[in-house]
Amino acid sequence: MKKEEQNIVVNHYTNTYQEENRFETFSQKIEYITTMRYIEKYLKPGVKILEVGAGTGAYSIELAKKGYDVTALELVPRNVEIIKKNSKGIETLKCLEGNALDLPKEFENSFDIVLNLGPLYHMFSEEDKQKAVDESVRVCKKGGVCMFAYITHSSVICRSGIIKGHIKEMQYALTEDMKLRSIPEEIFTPFYIEDFKKLFDKTGTTFIANISADGIISLLADYIDDKMDEEQKLMLLNWHFATCERPDQQGLSPHCLYICKK
């Protein structure tokens, strides 16, 4: 990642967006609940967990509270300070400032579970996208599990273009075949699912699942959060869990979760 691109990302999470407020509403929490549900499938006594791009520690702190050995690595200094503040007294959590493209060499083959739940939102070149995947796989133990979060093209068109009314302004970011380009100033990089899966072709990993982390719930957030009662939300959540591995539920999901085994 070029220095100017890194500065754009750090500035966004320092001065524009407060990551600690990310999971406040029901529709926002779906991504967290779904991702944690899949993480829990691979938890067992003694596992070592690395979260690359830990944000403000929503996953790392919760997993450390459960007693797991967790290392949280985060690019943004402000976020690192928040993790350290909110994890005081939790002895099973270590927090480091670092870059997903250059993980410590001593981490190689060290972790049973590697979580990469944000860095690929902000990789703008094909080389950096591949490097971010390769580095997380490198530090995972043989037989361990890696999880990668990414953003889909169609969700960006729906949320920013249609729902927020910016479809005309988005034209400059579209290629001739109507694919969104990766532009640092736009902060986020979207993927087609098939393109994301290609990043793993030469990693030696085995595909486990691709998950719709929040699906249409996020796209209908205003209605769901304001109009639905708790019973309706629970029914919707159960439907989401039952369908989130279906390919026809994934293309419009703002966040997808790719799971593989090393």
Q: Which residues are CB-contacts of 164 (< 8 A; sequence separation ≥ 6)?
A: none
Which backbone phi and psi does 79 adopt, to 5 degrees? -65, -40
Mean pLDDT of the chain: 96
**CA distance from start to end of the chain:** 25
Instruction: Place 260 in a pLDDT band, splitting at 50, 70 and 90.
Output: very high
Instruction: Place 178 in a pLDDT band, splitting at 50, 70 and 90.
Output: confident
Structure confidence at residue 156 (pLDDT): 93
Give the three-class secondary structure for 192: coil
Instruction: Place 206 in a pLDDT band, splitting at 50, 70 and 90.
Output: very high
Structure confidence at residue 47 (pLDDT): 98
The type of residue at 173 is A
152: pLDDT strictly greater than 90: yes
Instruction: Place 22 in a pLDDT band, splitting at 50, 70 and 90.
Output: very high
What's the mean pLDDT in 27-49?
Answer: 97
Q: Residue 164: which region, alpha, beta or left (left: phi > 0; alpha: psi -120 to 50)? A: alpha
Q: Tens of pLDDT along 83-97? A: 999 999 999 999 999
Q: Which H or E run includes 48?
A: strand 48-52
β-strand partners of 50: 71, 114
What's the mean pLDDT in 122-129?
Answer: 97
* DSSP type of residue 254: S
Enumerate domains of the chain plus CATH numbers: 3-261 (3.40.50.150)
Structure confidence at residue 241 (pLDDT): 97
Give the three-class secondary structure for 143: strand
Instruction: Place 224 in a pLDDT band, splitting at 50, 70 and 90.
Output: very high
- Burial level of 24, CB count in 10 A (0-12/13-18/19+)? exposed
Provide the b/e sequence for 27-51 (b: ≥16 CB within 10 Å): bbbbbbbbbeebbeebeeeebebbb
Q: How far is the C-alpha of 44 from the C-alpha of 199, rounded, in Å?
A: 28
Q: Tens of pLDDT along 51-85? A: 999 999 999 999 999 999 999 999 999 999 999 99
Instruction: Place 164 in a pLDDT band, splitting at 50, 70 and 90.
Output: confident
